[in-house]
């Protein structure tokens, strides 16, 4: 029996309410060569595991792997290693593939066999725009722009060659941002296999991303946030330098990285369980002493790249960082006032674009 064209790997944990929608979106894909679905049940407290088994019992294209509380990265690794297909796609159990998604991705990949195919996504469940194979070509040095356009960091909007993806793994030591590490590792492997590749971005959103849920990694507090993201950004920056991203893109990337880090510092003051008057404030101050942050600020000074967080972080002023982040989070006019005040304190010499 020939291997299917696609395998879709779905990590499953506390997904009772959305799993049927997810699996149905996979099995309803009409695609040349067929599709396999691997559900990796991570042993949640609800009936998700039983639902996985029920799908496998009624559709031979569904395979179930059960494991106990090992986390999403371990689940993806298990599903990826079990895949026996030409291409691999990841999907989260609360999301869904749009009708025609896999066939569109396949047609673009067949048209550009050496390139990396990825696509946009939609957060609107009512989105009924037809899926097309209209594609935008981006060069390899557009890596920073991919991250800035929110197309790089996630694993589920990309088409991987299964045998290549199986040579790498998601890092189970991370609980945040590990997806970016995996994508960068795959791109490094792709550069060896097809050195002249570029990015082919389908303009149609092929994945429905459900951002209505609560309790996700993006909404949880991570005590080591300001330790994890510098590691991810260091790897991203090295990759961007390797492919010689344009200076304008690098400035925007560095500004965005400073924002992510500074807002993580503010989150320590907002949500860390330690007492605010002592350990919590000390922890935020220690984050602002990070060697990675100092190097980033020095690079931004060399680039003449301005950010509202530049001076507060340079001054290691936790209260000012927090005030800025809160003003931005609540859409307060204070953010704009502080932003421009910092710009003029620096003599208006740095680039705001």
Q: What is the pLDDT of residues 245-288, one digit of tens each?
A: 999 999 999 999 999 999 999 999 999 998 877 899 999 999 99
Q: Are 37 and 91 in contact (CB under 8 A)?
A: no
> SS3 for 109?
helix
* Residue 216 binned pLDDT confidence (cut-offs 50, 70, 90): very low
CA atoms within 13 A on the CB side of 184: 23
d(CA 154, CA 170): 12
Sorted by sequence, the CB contacts under 8 Å of residue 45 that are 6+ apart come out as 14
Residue 254: name the closest of 292, 218, 281, 209 by CA: 292
Buried b (16+ CB within 10 A) or exposed e, 17-36: ebbebbbebbbebebeeebb
Digit-coded pLDDT (tens) for 318-329: 999 999 999 999
Q: Tell me how far apart the alpha carbons of residues 279 and 108 are, in angstroms, rounded to a whole number.
A: 53
| CB 231, CB 293: distance < 8 Å | no
Report, in angstroms and rounded to the nearest whole number, the Rg of the chain calculated over CA atoms. Answer: 22
Between 211 and 347, the more confident residue is: 347
Could you tell me which residue, 105 or 214, shows the higher pLDDT?
105
DSSP state of 37: E
Q: Which domains does the chain have, with CATH numbers?
A: 6-208 (3.90.550.10), 225-345 (no CATH)
Q: Mean of the per-residue pLDDT values for the chain?
A: 95
- What are the CA-CA distances from residue 279 to residues 161, 274, 276, 283 (Å)? 47, 6, 7, 6
**Which residues 6+ apart lie within 8 Å of 235 measured at CB?**
180, 181, 184
Query: What is the pLDDT at residue 2?
Result: 80
Instruction: Record the pTM.
Output: 0.94
What is the DSSP annotation of 135-161? Answer: EEEE-GGGHHHHHHTT-SS-STTB-EE
Place of tokens 């307060």: 332
Instruction: Compute the average pLDDT of residues 181-193.
Output: 97
How far, in Å, CA of 51 to CA of 43, rounded? Answer: 12
Helical spans, DSSP H, in 199-290? 225-242, 247-271, 281-288
Q: 75 near 40, Cβ under 8 Å? A: yes
- In this prediction, residues 160-173 reach a mean pLDDT of 97
Kindly state the helix (H) or strand (E) to which residue 165 belongs, with its residue range: helix 162-165
pLDDT at 103: 97
pLDDT of residue 218: 47
130-145: average pLDDT: 97
Statement: residue 75 has pLDDT above 80: yes
Percent of the chain with pLDDT over 70: 97
| pLDDT for the residue 353 | 86
With cut-offs at 50, 70 and 90, classify the pLDDT of residue 215: very low
Average pLDDT over residues 121-149: 95
- Does the pLDDT at position 220 exceed 90? no
- pLDDT surpasses 80 at 214: no
pLDDT of residue 221: 86
Q: Is the Cα torsion angle 219, 221, 224, 230 positive or negative in sign?
A: positive
Q: What is the mean pLDDT of the segment spanning 104-119?
A: 98
In this prediction, residue 217 carries a pLDDT of 35
- SS3 for 305? strand
The residue that leads in pLDDT, 63 or 128, is 63
Mean pLDDT value across residues 2-26: 96
DSSP-assigned beta bridge partners for residue 200: 117, 137
Q: How many angstroms separate the Cα of 251 from the Cα of each of 71, 133, 230, 315?
A: 35, 32, 16, 21
Q: What is the pLDDT of residue 126?
A: 86
pLDDT digits (tens, 9 = 90+) for 303-315: 999 999 999 999 9
Whole-number pLDDT of residue 213: 58
């Amino acid at each position: 029996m020939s291997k299917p064209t696609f395998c879709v790997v779905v990590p499953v944990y506390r997904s009772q309410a959305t799993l049927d929608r997810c699996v149905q979106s996979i099995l309803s894909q009409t695609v040349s060569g067929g599709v396999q679905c691997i559900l990796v049940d991570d042993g949640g407290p609800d009936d998700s595991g039983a639902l996985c088994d029920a799908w496998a019992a009624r559709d031979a294209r569904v395979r179930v792997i059960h494991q106990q509380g090992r986390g999403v990265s371990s689940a993806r690794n298990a599903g990826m290693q079990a895949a026996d297909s030409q291409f691999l796609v990841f999907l989260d159990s609360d999301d869904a593939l749009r009708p025609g998604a896999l066939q569109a991705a396949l047609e673009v990949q067949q048209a550009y066999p050496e390139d990396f195919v990825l696509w946009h996504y939609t957060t609107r469940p009512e989105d009924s725009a037809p899926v097309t194979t209209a594609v935008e070509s981006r060069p390899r040095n557009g890596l920073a722009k991919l991250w800035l356009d929110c197309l790089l960091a996630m694993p589920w909007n990309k088409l991987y060659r299964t045998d290549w993806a199986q040579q790498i793994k998601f890092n189970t030591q991370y609980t945040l941002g590990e997806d970016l590490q995996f994508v960068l590792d795959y791109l490094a492997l792709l550069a060896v296999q097809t050195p002249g590749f570029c990015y082919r971005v389908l303009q149609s959103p092929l994945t429905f991303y459900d951002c209505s849920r609560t309790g996700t990694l993006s909404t949880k507090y991570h005590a080591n946030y300001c330790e994890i993201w510098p590691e991810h950004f260091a790897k991203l920056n090295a990759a961007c330098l390797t492919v010689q991203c344009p200076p304008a893109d690098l400035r925007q990337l560095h500004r965005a990285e400073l924002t992510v880090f500074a807002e993580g510092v503010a989150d320590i003051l907002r949500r860390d369980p330690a007492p605010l008057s002592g350990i919590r404030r000390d922890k935020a101050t220690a984050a602002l002493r990070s060697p990675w942050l100092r190097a980033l600020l020095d690079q931004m000074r060399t680039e003449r790249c301005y950010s509202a967080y530049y001076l507060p972080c340079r001054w290691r002023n936790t209260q000012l960082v927090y005030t800025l982040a809160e003003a931005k989070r609540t859409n307060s006019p204070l953010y704009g006032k502080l932003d421009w005040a910092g710009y003029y304190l620096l003599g208006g010499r740095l680039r705001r674009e």
